[in-house]
Each structure stands twice: as C-alpha cells, then as structure tokens.
C-alpha cells in the first residue's frame, strides 16, 4: 500500500472494497478511483488509443487523457470513465480497456505494426489507397487495434431525470473564487446556483496547503459551504458539471446524482440533466497543469505536478516511491513542497530556467530538496517509470524515480467562454490563453482568468459577483474578503525538449506525437484548425484540454509565429462527455412520447382490441375474437358486419376546431377551396384546404352549428398543424376578421356508428330527438341530448360509405356512450371495428386519406378540383393554377384492381406501361393505398397515375422491385363500393 | 434560446414554432401579376447575416403569432411584438 500514514480528506473509518481487472482492493470514502488505485500501487491503468502503449494516471481532474476505464458490469457497464473523477464506492468494479489479451501483456503494443499507418494524416492518407484494400484490410485492422471502451449491450436499467432551474447568478466552479462569489451574491438576496463538478466544494484549496485568515484554508471552505447551505436563495449543486453555454443565458449541466453509489436508490435517477436559465453567470472553473513534451513522457508514473500534489495532500495517496518534478514555473515548486510535506519523497526539482526565484530556492533548501536549474528531462526508462535522465550544464544524469511530476505552466479552463465563438487570448506573461469575448452575461474570475494567486481568487470572486448582482438591482454590501498570502508565481514559456529520446507525446489520449506536429508542418497543415484535423490533436474525448496549447505552441515555434498569433482552436459543448441517456431522460421506449388514449381506450382494451399509434394517439386497430387466426380474418369480419349490419368506431382523434364570430363564414371561405359561408345552419360540408403553394394540406367535414358558429374537423395527423395554420391566417394574414377559435379535440368524445342498422341503434340512445331521414338527412347536424341528459352533437356523415352517424358527447361520457350504443346495437349484432377496417372501407369507397394527402398532390390530382370555387380567393388558389399543376400528363387519382384476382397489391408499387423496363423514365405513378376487399373478394388499390381518369379499363404493370412484385393491374374508378352514394342517403 | 412573448413573457424556445422572415406580405390575389407575386411570396426569402424580423408561433403558450427581432449572427433578441399588430396582449 502506498497510502500515506496520515492526512488527506479521506475517511479512514469508512473503508471501501473495490476491484480493478478482477483484483480485490481497498480504498476509503473520499477517494476517487484514481487515488485508490495509486494507494493500491496500481500504476498501469490502461492502453493508449492508437499505439496500445501502457499508460497510467496523468491528472487528478476531469481533463484526464489517460486513465479511462470501464466501470461497472453488464447493462451498467460504462466505457471511458475517467478514473480521476470516479468517486469510489463500496463494491465498485473497474476494468482496463483497449488491451488484449491483458493489460500487462498487450500484443498490439508488442508488434507495433500499425504505428506507421497511424501517424499524422492517417485518415486522409489511408483513404488514398485502393478502396478495396481500405474496406477489407485496413479498416478492420485499425478498428480492432484502435479504440476505447466497450459500451454496454443491454438496455440501461437506470433512469435519468431532467430538471429546469432559474437563477440570477450561476457560479460555475466552487473553489476559492466560486465560494466567495456565491457568498457575496447569496448574501445580497439574489438567487444563486453554485455548481461544481467535484463531489466536494473547495477546488484547489482541497489540494493545497494554504492559510486563509491565518487558519488552514479548509476551515474557510467549511464555513462558506455551511453558510451557503443555510441560505434559502442559494442552491448548491455538487457533482454537477456545467457542460455548455447556450442562447439566452441557458446552460446545460449534468448532475451525477447516484454515480457514486453502487445502485441508485429507489425513485432516484442516476443522473440529472439540468437546464439552468441564469441572468448572469460567473465562471470560476480554475486552471489545469499542462505537460511538457519530451521523449518517454507517456510512461506510467509521469503525471502533472498538480496531480502529484492533489494525490498526496487531498487523498493521502503516494503515487510512487520517489518523485522528480520537472517544470518551468514556480507553481510546480509549491506543488512539490506540498507533496513533500504530505510525505512524498521528492528526489529533485528540475527547472528549465537557469535561475529560479531565490525564495523558491530557499524553500527547497529548507526542506532539503535537491534542485537542478537549467535542467531538462531527455529520457525516461522502465515499463513503469523507474528512472529519468536529466540533462543540465553538468551533463546527463540518471535519477531513480517512480514518479515524474511535470508542469509546463497552467491552462485556464476557458472552455465555456468559447461556446459562443469567443476566441481565447494569449497572455505571454502567464504563457497561457485567457478568456476572450464571453457569452452574454458571463464573467470570469480567478484562475480561469489566469489569476492564480489565492488571495486574488478570493477577492475577484467577491468583486465579480457583486458587480453581476448589482446589474440586476441587488445591493451587494461589501463582503469582507478573507486574507491569504501567496508568492508571485513566474513562468518561462517552455513546450518541448529538443533532442530528447523516444516518442514524445503531445496529445496523450489520441496518441499525437511531436513528430506528428512536425509532419503536419512539413506537409503544410499549419493553421491550428488544420493541424487539429490532420493530426487529430485535441479531437479525443478530453477535447485536448491538456494538449492543445502545447501542440499549437510547438507549431508556432516551427512556423516562427508567436503563440498568440497562431491562436487556439475553440472548445465546444460539452465541456466533458455527457451520456446520451442523460439527454434523453425519460424519453425512451414507450415514454419517448406521451401516450394519448382515446376516451374509449379502456373499454376497447376490455373488448380485446389491438392498438396502433395514429398521429399522437393510440387507437384500436382491430378487435380479434377467439378462433380468428390472423388480423385479416378479423378485419374482414368487422367490415362485413358493418356493411351488412352496424359497426362502431371511436373517431375522437380527429382534430376539432371551434370557430365563432361574425366573420367565421368569410374566414372559412378563405381557407377552404370550397364555400362555407353559404352552408345552412345544421348542415355539414366536406372541405379541402391547400397550402399557399397549391398543394393539399388537409381535408375534413365542417359543420355550421349556428349563424356565427362552425365546427371544423381535421385529420388526426394534421390537427395541430391545421390549427396553427388557421391561427396564422387569422392573426398574420387577416387580423381584421372578427373570428375566435379554440381547439376542442380533447373536449369531445366522438363515436361513429355505420351500417344499414345505424339509425335503429341511434334512435335508442337519443332523448326524443327526431333522427329520421327527413329530419336528419345525409350531411345533417343535430344538437340535443342522449342517454337521458348528456349534451350531444350528432353528425350524419360517413367515411365508410354506409349510413352513418358520428355522435359527440363530452369526453368523459365517451365510454358510457360506447357501452350504451353496444347495448342498443346488440340485437343487430353491432360490431366494434378498428382503424384497419375503417381503412378498408374508405379504400373500397375511394376516399383520399393521409397516403394521398402526401404533400405532393393538388386538389385536381385527387379528383377534387371541381370542388374549388371560382368566385372567391382562398389560400393556395393562385399557385394551384401554375402550368405544371394543370399539365395534361399529370397524375390523377384512380382505383386499381388485379387483372388476376388472386394477386396481392402492394402500396408503393410503381406503375409502368406493359413492355417497358423498370426505369424512372417509364414511371407513370404509384399505388398509394391497398386493402383486401371482403365485399369484392380480392385486393383493391388506390393510386396516382398519369392521365388516370382517361385510362379507365387500361392495364398497366404494378412494379414493386423492393418486394419482388410485378403484376398486371387494371385502372378503374376509385369508388369500388356504391359509387353513386345511395347507401349514404337511405 | 428564449423568446420574449409579449403576452406570456420570456419563454423557452421549445414552446414556439418557427416560420421565418416576417417581411413578405401576402400579395393581392386579384392583381394582374399575382402568379409571379405569389411565387416570390411563397418561395423567395432573404437570408441576412444580421438583424431579421421573423415569425414565431407560441403554440405551447398563448397561441399568438409573434414577430421577433433577432440577430442571426449572435441570436441576440431585441424584442417581439404581436404579428396581428395589436399592441396589447388581449386577443379580443
Ligand atoms: Zn405567449
């Protein structure tokens, strides 16, 4: 065990068992998986993406490029989990990834065959080779060799939640600056959300030995968190990563609610996806250490200086027996001193600067730490790091060490500031990029702005928060800023050790080397965006947080430009990876969309109905009976029963729009092709409406219930679209019309009964209403009551072609009405039918439906052109008269029957003249709807074919190459049943 | 994105449906050049980089059509009015 004997923010009274690659280990509450692995002497954690090189743990945060593991097992297996941010829990199991056959012995790495194939530009160069080779040889080879973890194959058993939050100030990051900001804003009364990706607030303070107000800095954190937790206007969101900044002050955040537990507790999601709307935001996301590039810098044991300090101080985990620190800045020195204080054996501090600041030298001397000034690490050795070779003025020297802690300077976490395209700006004095233009309303404080001093982080957090909430009208009274002392930190830009030995990695996660940067330069891919795509620098899951700046600085050296002019690539959301499951939330499986049952749903289910999704609704598709062997048998029975007796179907799903006002009739005249202002009260009329481009939008019957009162019905699928269109017409096109509208689709249950016995059934449910043919003729509308006092509207309309009535009652009475009609119809053998039988009957009758109103057809195409009034204007009129719509060769709507009555028709088949090949040039149209007609005893179809109405009786090929169909069909009139409509009028 | 509905206040863009440029006006259908005018009205749109006034429908709110002043480069929203031209939120 490499657990330091004391210290750390771990709870030694709470040991936790976990396993890595099947081996049992122990850690403590407060550990991350990475700190626990290090404390268990695990230094080799994974294999690299392309070259399968052994890798260890590089960082202690979410920027980790190396230590990606598979977490959990089975359906919960989660690939590419960064061990550095995985909070340890009892029973955690993790496995290394991208290795074969084992982590210790990996064949891909040993043979190294693919190395030459995978260098800079390999995507482009490899594609240049013969395509056959690529597909058969290289791609499978590369796919097997390169990769990350394996996704779980079973459905995720956990749930994911979504929440919305609103605040005045969102503080992103709960370190020194963030805590002071939240305190300042919170005390002013502003609504504050403080989010931190860590499971513990405090940021750098957790890992640095510092004093605030002459007391250990942790005491400040505890006080601040306690005060914030007690403020009712402050919401603390630990374990929450703000991953994206979006328009209008909207932020995406991911809260890991139960990732730190073996299983989510009951009624608790694993993760919660927050949409936070903030009037102002303050980014206090800190900064990270970036590496220096030299040969052998990827060996397990090489880590950032910040990581060494964090593991030693925060987790009391010693990453290795002896540590060498290699840096170009003073911050790494204090990291070394903190680690030494915690118990790490620091063999030497190697600084590239010929002269380190005297105060640092003095501190090193006091602690007895050896210092090599003007030194560079030129090589490392050991499969796991065992020694480093340092070159200095006195020559080369090999120093035994298991840890090499490196720091090439700090990179502020500017990610979120560039989500709106703001380009980070280079500051030479800190050798780092700081935020440029920020998203509206965003400020930055502390290390994220390049301000690394603890004292200034505290002050800036308070000051920025005070300004932000003052802008919103809150008075932020002067919060006393706690005092901290720290020394000025200096940094000398240094990126790459020239002449070092062995592969030198820039991007550890995507295995991009210094040589790749050189190749990109040689081959002309010098602009940062080209460099990125050519080498894949920064394109891995970590978005190059530890590699971008170094990579582009090296390019700057090669091109002779300065780093600032070279610029940097932009970060995009998400800041860290977000699981798709969290974004989907509850919207998966059956909950992908809301289920809308009809008013008679439960009744239909009790009748054994099979349901189908129709638009947003769930409708009864058919009602199988015992002994029926397939759906067609059932549907045939339902159709026959309706045509010979009486059938019943719930048609509540049709859109219903209540339209009232003095100008209601005039309004309808403008949206329908036919006229409604002349419709008598108590009558219904079939109407067709167009889009302004002349294509049919929708159809349905509209009834006149009163002088100024109409009720429109729309198709099920277009209900919302038509309503929106009508509102557009009313508000945008003709606001002068005095009309009011409301959607009443959900308010009314509507049940259709159809068949020769329909009237006999209806008579038994109405409260003394005369529904005789004379009193309520075809297309008549009556209002009254049914079932002893239930308000009802009765429409004598028919989709099936039989004598039919649609009875509308308040939605809650729907089931009662269905049951009453079933009881009344029992002597006539009333039969409930579903959408299939309805479809068969409408095809037999030759009515158009969704398949024909397909966004390509005009009213004329569908044989409805004669309905169009020539005495008025209406939406779509002008453009429906375009020459192409009136062309002679245009398709028209007709029926089709198989020449050989046994042949089955297929919707989607295309029509060809006999003797012509199946090419687009010979295409004459297509079949839109088909059904088996029990009445006729064979399949029938509807479709669109060129000059169809002139070709009744002609035979053509119905060609269906997808399903291997090619049969002769005869063009016929689309109404197969009762073309004169006599049955409707009895 | 968040849109300032004059009736409902600032609401999430998910509550709205987008239509497009609010500038085109439905032409006079009786004019001699109606066919050409309608063609332009239906099909031709400017695609400015910058300020645009565009139509949105608050379908999950007050069901009003509104005209939003938006900058296509920044998504900055300067304001919104009812498409019907009435100044108040009262639909009647
Ligand atoms: Zn609204």
Structure confidence by residue, pLDDT tens digits, A613-633: 988 899 999 999 999 999 999
Q: What pLDDT does A120 receive?
A: 72
pLDDT band at A225 (very low <50, low <70, confident <90, very high): very high
pLDDT digits (tens, 9 = 90+) for A900-949: 999 999 999 999 999 999 999 999 999 999 999 999 999 999 999 999 99
- Give kind and range of the element (H or E) at residue A530: helix A528-535
Q: Does the CB of A742 have a partner CB in chain B at under 8 Å?
A: no
- Give kind and range of the element (H or E) at residue B9: strand B9-12
Cβ <8 Å between A728 and B30: no
CA max distance for chain B: 43
**Closest chain A residue to B35 measured between Cα atoms?**
A878
3-state secondary structure of A250: strand
Q: What pLDDT does A393 receive?
A: 93
CA A669 to chain centre: 43
**Contact residues for A437 (Cβ-Cβ < 8 A; gap 6+):** A417, A420, A421, A422, A423
Kindly report the number of other CB atoms within 10 A of residue A301's CB atom.
25
pLDDT band at A737 (very low <50, low <70, confident <90, very high): very high
Query: Homologous superfamily of A160-287+412-471 in CATH?
Result: FAD/NAD(P)-binding domain (3.50.50.60)
Q: Could you report the predicted ipTM of this complex, rounded to two decimals? A: 0.95
Q: Which CATH class is domain A654-744?
A: alpha beta
Q: Which CATH class is domain A291-407?
A: alpha beta
CA A521 to chain centre: 37
Q: Does the CB of B78 have a partner CB in chain A at under 8 Å?
A: no
Domain boundaries, chain A: 1-152, 160-287+412-471, 291-407, 601-653+747-833, 654-744, 877-985
Q: What pLDDT does A172 receive?
A: 98
Q: What pLDDT does B89 receive?
A: 39
Mutate to test the interface with A, among B18, B26, B36 (most CBs of A within 10 A): B26
Q: What pLDDT does B91 receive?
A: 39
3-state secondary structure of A21: coil
* Pick from A566-570, A683-687, A818-822: least confident: A566-570
Task: Calculate how far, in angstroms, residue A727's C-alpha sits from the geometric centre of ligand 1.
Answer: 13
β strands within A505-561, DSSP E? 505-507, 512-513
Q: Does the CB of B39 have a partner CB in chain A at under 8 Å?
A: yes
pLDDT band at A105 (very low <50, low <70, confident <90, very high): confident
Q: Does the CB of B23 have a partner CB in chain A at under 8 Å?
A: no
Cβ <8 Å between B86 and A882: no
pLDDT band at A124 (very low <50, low <70, confident <90, very high): low
Q: What pLDDT does A616 receive?
A: 85
Domains A160-287+412-471 and A601-653+747-833 share a fold: no
Distance from CA of A735 to the nearest CA of B (A): 6
Residues of B in contact with A250 (CB under 8 A): 1-2, 12
**A79 φ/ψ angles, rounded to the nearest 5 degrees:** -75, 165
Q: What pLDDT does A577 receive?
A: 93
Greatest mean pLDDT among A118-122, A123-127, A465-469 lies in: A465-469
What pTM value is reported for the model?
A: 0.91
Q: Which CATH class is domain A877-985?
A: mainly beta
In the predicted model, what is the mean pLDDT of residues A73-83?
94
CATH of domain A601-653+747-833: 3.30.1360.120
> Which A residues, 841 through 900, put their C-beta within 8 Å of a C-beta on chain B?
873, 877-879, 881-882
A859 in Cβ contact with A880 (< 8 Å): yes
pLDDT band at A706 (very low <50, low <70, confident <90, very high): very high
Q: Which residues pair with A606 in a beta bridge?
A: none
Res A582 pLDDT > 90: yes
Quote the DSSP letter at residue A28.
E
Nearest to A693 among B42, B55, B91 (CB): B42
Dist CA A861 CA A867 (whole Å): 12
**Contact residues for A123 (Cβ-Cβ < 8 A; gap 6+):** A536
Average pLDDT of chain A, as a whole number = 94
Residues of A in contact with B73 (CB under 8 A): none
Res A127 pLDDT > 80: no
Q: Does the CB of B64 have a partner CB in chain A at under 8 Å?
A: yes
Q: What pLDDT does B64 receive?
A: 96
Res A437 pLDDT > 60: yes
Rg (CA), chain A: 37
The length of chain B, given as a count of residues = 92
CATH of domain A1-152: 3.10.20.440
Nearest Cα to A236, choosing from A265, A271, A260, A201? A201
Q: What pLDDT does A103 receive?
A: 78
Residue A188 Cα distances to A183, A231, B53, angstroms: 9, 11, 38
Q: Does the CB of A822 have a partner CB in chain B at under 8 Å?
A: no
Pick the CATH number of B1-21+40-92 from 1.10.287.610, 3.40.630.30, 3.30.2270.10, 3.90.79.10: 3.30.2270.10
């Amino acid at each position: 065990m490499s657990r330091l004997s004391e210290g750390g923010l771990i709870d030694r009274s709470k040991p936790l068992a976990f396993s890595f690659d099947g081996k049992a280990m122990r850690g403590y509450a407060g550990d991350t998986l990475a700190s626990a692995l290090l404390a268990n002497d695990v230094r080799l954690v994974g294999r690299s993406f392309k070259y399968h090189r052994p890798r260890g743990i590089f960082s202690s945060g979410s920027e980790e490029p190396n230590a990606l593991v598979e977490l959990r097992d089975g359906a919960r297996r989660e690939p590419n989990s960064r061990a550095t941010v995985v909070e340890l829990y009892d029973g955690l199991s993790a496995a290394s990834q991208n290795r074969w056959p084992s982590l210790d012995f990996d064949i891909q790495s040993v043979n190294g065959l693919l190395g030459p194939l995978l260098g800079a530009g390999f995507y482009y160069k490899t594609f240049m080779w013969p395509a056959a080779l690529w597909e058969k040889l290289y791609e499978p080879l590369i796919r097997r060799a390169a990769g990350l973890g394996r996704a779980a194959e079973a459905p995720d058993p956990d749930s994911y939640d979504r929440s919305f939050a609103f605040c005045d100030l969102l503080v992103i990051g709960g370190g020194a600056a963030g805590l002071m900001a939240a305190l300042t804003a919170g005390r002013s009364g502003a609504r504050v959300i403080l989010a931190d990706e860590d499971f513990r607030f405090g940021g750098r303070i957790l890992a640095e030995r510092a004093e605030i107000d002459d007391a250990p800095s942790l005491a400040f954190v505890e006080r601040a968190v306690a005060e914030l937790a007690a403020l009712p206007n402050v919401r603390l969101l630990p374990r929450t990563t703000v991953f994206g900044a979006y328009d209008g002050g909207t932020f995406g955040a991911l809260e890991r609610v139960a990732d730190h537990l073996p299983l989510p507790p009951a009624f608790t999601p694993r993760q919660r996806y927050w949409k936070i709307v903030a009037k102002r935001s303050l980014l206090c996301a800190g900064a990270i250490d970036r590496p220096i590039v030299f040969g052998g810098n990827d060996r397990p044991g090489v880590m950032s200086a910040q990581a060494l300090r964090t593991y030693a101080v925060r987790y009391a985990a010693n990453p290795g027996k002896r540590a060498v620190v290699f840096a170009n800045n003073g911050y790494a020195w204090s990291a070394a001193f903190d680690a030494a204080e915690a118990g790490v054996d620091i063999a030497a501090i190697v600084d590239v600067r010929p002269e380190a600041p005297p105060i640092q030298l003095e501190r090193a001397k006091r602690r007895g730490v050896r210092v090599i000034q003007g030194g560079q690490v030129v090589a490392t050795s050991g499969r796991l790091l065992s020694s480093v070779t340092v070159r200095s003025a006195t020559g080369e020297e090999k120093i035994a060490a298991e840890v090499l802690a490196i720091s090439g300077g700090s990179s502020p976490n500017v990610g979120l500031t560039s989500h709106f395209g703001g380009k980070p700006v280079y500051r030479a004095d800190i050798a780092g990029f700081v935020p440029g233009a920020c998203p509206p309303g965003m400020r930055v404080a502390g290390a994220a702005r390049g301000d690394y001093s603890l004292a200034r982080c505290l002050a800036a957090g308070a000051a920025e928060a005070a300004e932000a909430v003052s802008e919103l009208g809150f008075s932020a009274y002067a919060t006393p800023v706690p005092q901290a002392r720290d020394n000025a930190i200096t940094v000398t830009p240094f990126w790459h050790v020239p002449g070092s030995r062995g592969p030198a990695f820039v991007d550890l996660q995507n295995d991009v080397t210094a040589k790749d940067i050189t190749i990109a330069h040689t081959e002309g891919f010098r602009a940062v965006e080209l460099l990125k795509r050519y080498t894949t620098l920064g394109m891995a899951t970590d978005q190059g947080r530890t590699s971008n700046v170094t990579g582009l600085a090296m390019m700057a050296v090669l091109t002779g430009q300065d780093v600032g002019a070279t610029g940097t690539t932009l970060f995009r959301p998400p800041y860290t990876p977000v699981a798709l499951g969290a974004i989907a939330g509850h919207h998966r499986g059956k909950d992908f969309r809301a289920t809308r049952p009809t008013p008679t749903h439960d009744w239909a289910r009790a009748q054994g109905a099979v349901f189908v999704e129709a638009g947003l609704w769930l409708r009864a598709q058919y009602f199988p009976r015992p002994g029926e062997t397939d759906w067609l048998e059932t549907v045939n029975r339902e159709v026959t029963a309706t045509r010979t007796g009486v059938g019943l179907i719930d048609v509540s799903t049709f859109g219903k729009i209540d339209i009232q006002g003095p100008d209601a009739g005039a309004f309808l005249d403008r949206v329908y092709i036919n006229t409604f202002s002349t419709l008598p009260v108590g009558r219904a009329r079939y109407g067709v409406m167009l889009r302004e481009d002349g294509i049919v939008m929708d159809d349905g019957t509209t009834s006149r219930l009163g002088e100024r009162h109409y009720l429109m019905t729309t198709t099920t699928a277009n209900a919302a679209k038509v309503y929106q269109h009508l509102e557009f017409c009313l508000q945008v096109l003709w606001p002068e019309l005095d009309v009011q509208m409301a959607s009443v689709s959900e308010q009314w249950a509507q049940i259709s009964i159809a068949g020769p016995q329909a009237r006999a059934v209806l008579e038994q449910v109405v409260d003394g209403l005369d529904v005789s043919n004379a009193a309520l003729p075809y297309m008549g509308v009556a209002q009254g009551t049914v079932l002893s006092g239930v308000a009802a509207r009765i429409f004598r309309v028919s989709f099936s072609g039989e004598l039919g009535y649609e009875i509308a009652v308040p939605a809650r009475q729907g089931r009662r009405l269905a049951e009453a009609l079933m009881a009344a119809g029992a002597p006539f053998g009333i039969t409930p039918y579903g959408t299939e039988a309805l479809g068969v009957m409408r095809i037999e009758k030759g009515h158009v439906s969704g398949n024909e109103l397909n966004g390509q057809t005009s009213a004329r195409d569908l044989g409805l052109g004669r309905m169009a009034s020539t005495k008025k204007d209406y939406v779509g009129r002008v453009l429906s008269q375009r020459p192409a719509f009136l062309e002679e060769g245009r398709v028209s709507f007709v029926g089709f029957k198989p020449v050989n009555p046994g042949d089955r028709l297929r919707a989607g088949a295309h029509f060809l003249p006999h003797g012509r090949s199946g090419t687009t040039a010979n295409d004459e149209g297509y079949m839109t709807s088909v059904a088996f007609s029990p009445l006729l005893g064979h399949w029938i179809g509807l479709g669109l074919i060129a000059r169809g109405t002139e070709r009744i009786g002609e035979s053509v090929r119905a060609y269906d190459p997808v399903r291997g169909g090619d049969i002769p069909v005869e063009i016929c009139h689309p109404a197969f049943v009762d073309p004169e409509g006599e049955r409707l009028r009895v | 994105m968040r849109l300032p509905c004059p009736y409902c206040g600032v609401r999430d863009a998910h509550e709205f449906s987008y239509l497009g440029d609010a500038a085109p006006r439905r032409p006079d259908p009786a004019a001699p050049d109606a066919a050409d005018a309608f063609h332009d009205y239906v099909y031709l749109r400017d695609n400015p980089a910058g300020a645009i006034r565009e139509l949105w429908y608050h379908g999950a709110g007050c069901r009003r059509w509104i005209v939003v002043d938006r900058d296509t480069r920044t998504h900055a929203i300067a304001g919104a009015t009812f498409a019907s031209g009435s100044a108040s939120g009262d639909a009647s």
